[in-house]
Structure 1
Amino acid sequence: MTFDVARIRKDFPILDRQIRGGHPLVYLDSANTSQKPRQVLDTLADFYERHNANIHRASHQLGEEATEAYEGARIKAGRFIGARDETEIVFTKNITEAINLVAYSMSNATAAGPGRFSLGPGDEIVITEMEHHSNIVPWQLLCQRTGATLRWFGVTPDGRLDTSNIGDLITERTRLVSLVHQSNVLGTINPVRMVADAAHAAGALVLVDAAQSVPHMPVDVTELGADFLGFTSHKMCGPTGIGVLWARRELLDEMPPFLGGGEMIESVWMDRTTFSAPPHKFEAGTMPIAQAVGLGAAIDYLGEIGFDAMRAHELQLIEHALEVLTPIEGVRILGPTKAADRGSAFSFTVADVHPHDVSQVLDDLGIAVRAGHHCAWPLHRAFGVQSSTRASFYLYNTREEADALADGIREAQRFFARR
């Protein structure tokens, strides 16, 4: 399908807004949350207007329709990332919960006694300095609960994963390696398969945080060499409140539940409980049903556009953004400066102007970006900065919006030079 950004923009009603005194909205915060096309909005409205009911338990027609739509979304999500079948897809409320599901399941396994997922002193979890807090804090807590040790890959000055000491980091003591596929700060695309091969050779499992990659490029769990992979709906044109954990079925079979309650049970007595088969074993209580249906619509939408065309469009945007941002005196881009090595999130600093001040000036011009540490404090410390401004592009952005960003940065420099 030919990529026509003007046509695609018509699918997103919010992009017609004018803000801050009549400025056209330039939305450059999709790494935080993406905008939603009419196709997704209409699907959500149709579900609530015509099919709304709880799933699996209701014996009436609406319940059947809701269940079919919910489980249909699971099938779509599995096919989307190359899962063997839909029973390898667990719905969560976001990728943060997906990662915590694995961490707490390992904690529950440890409490139950020795086994594949149990941890103790001498065992190690390996992450990277590039991680979002959601892929740091759960492993810190797991190590505190079990006595295991947390270790991590560093980052090179040009924003790549430092794998020079991979043989020292991944050893026979490593139980799990958890790493980001594409950095939410640097845009760096990591060599996941190389790290996964090293982990598997040492007998370790591999979890991949694909929150920033799945919305932008084809992702296949087998090609990556993952054992677990998580992504989230709201960064890929879908609704908030729904995420996905994919795991190899044999691992889900072995893992103890994360939460207890209704729906995830097989039978309950007063003194014991048996649990449903995966994936339902990990989906306690009423799930985000409409949100799952919306995610399915987002998958359909992105599939119709095609990732090859979308990636080609984004590469052009990345190249143009680098061309217009790099020459601005005082601007420092964090991460790779070659389009092919990165995704479309640009974090940068502006000399003598605080990142929040940069974002405020941009916001006054109608340009939406994010400022702060982007839930990646250790990574910012590695680059010697407290925070940064981040602009992130997606399928609906244009070269003209990259130009507006560059002009806005210059305006921020002029404004604060006068003070």
Structure 2
Amino acid sequence: MKQVKLFISVVFLISFNFSFAQESVSDKLKEYETASLNKKMELFFYFFQKFESDQQDSVLYYVNDLLSEGIKNKNHDAIALANYGIGPYLLNHSLFEEAETKLEKAKKHYHKVENDTMLADVYNCIGNSAFLQGKLAQAELLYNKSSEFAIASGEERFKMLSVFNLSRIYLNQGKVEEAKDMIQDYIDFNLANGAMRRLAAAYGLMGQLYLNQNDNKLAIDFFTRSMESGLTAGNMTAVANGYTNLAIAEYLSGEMQKSEQYFQLALAYRQKAGDKYFIVEGYYNLGDFYYAAAKFDSAIVNYAYSLKIAEEANNLKGQKEALMQLSYVYDTLDQKNNQIAVLIKVISTQEKLAKQQSYKEINALKLSHAQSEKEAINTGGIREDQLYGQVAEYQSIFSNWVWIVFTCMLVLLVFIYFFRRSSKK
């Protein structure tokens, strides 16, 4: 049996900005359409990582627009931001090399203009790439580099970018006290600033730390704080994640009734959030709970709901996972015909998933390469214009110098002429 999914609230890596704390993304998207380029950059930095799971491709439109506007206006900041902005999208598609190429371009520009805050962001994002590939030592170095630039910027809030991610690495390395201190620093900072959504994630990670130490009581305390912070923030997904973690902690504590109730509450809040990808996970988690509790009919019902919603959302990965779990249940019940029927669907879904994954990767690569080509051609044009400008400037200086020399020569000739005349006299 596949185990219950653990700690959904803390599986992400922190990479965010700090402005527009509670404002609607949709309002910002509308404002973007008629904004100046500088305002577009400000808005893009706010929303480029905030699209729902099934709308993440939308970021490509804004990346392309920002690049085009940057080229049109010869604005290298906009071009660099477009390169930075596509990075997380490429990471989500496991296109690590392509993502790092884009991020390195952005990094080069921000080094050139000495933008410490954006360097903190970019190094953090490159660190995320290393982390996702399991290169923890490299990720640690990059997160520390991010911290250095954050400190140089004089903005404590940018230091927090890497603090959370470094604490995850230390937790993974078994450096419990170091991780605990960093998480506490992150908690203290966000408490002081009233950043409840980030507090929900921090409390969730601290809960994981204590659960890893088999201190279920303290884990439950922090998971409760995580859920309450999500409620205060009005973020239904954070609330659902908090309840999911509570359900797991209670399950591991042997409190089956409480665990069931928390899994049900988690599903209810996922439904309120309205993201079908997360609703699929909610039903899946309940199915896992009932499977582990040997309540096979309830497990089948919840896996079936997970499958149905995954089909509605064209979530092939969710479909495959639900089908696999159904096959395990039917195997346990020795219902071979049902198991065979489900496994045939698994094969078909896997084929579709492979095609979809290849299609998405190819599209992402196409867009990335098209962006690079456009950037290369047009930034070449920008550089050419800059060179022409320098040539014109040098020509102007040279022309002025010629006139100065000519004037001096003329004065000298006049002086010699009058000097000779006076000598003859």
Settle same-fold status: TM greater than 0.5.
no
Kindly indicate which of the two structures has a greater share of residues assigned to strand.
1
TM bin, normalised by shorter chain, reads under 0.3
Larger relative contact order, structure 1 or 2 (CA cutoff 8 Å, min sep 6): 1
* TM-score, normalised with respect to structure 2: 0.26
Larger radius of gyration: 2
Kindly indicate which of the two structures has a greater share of residues assigned to helix.
2
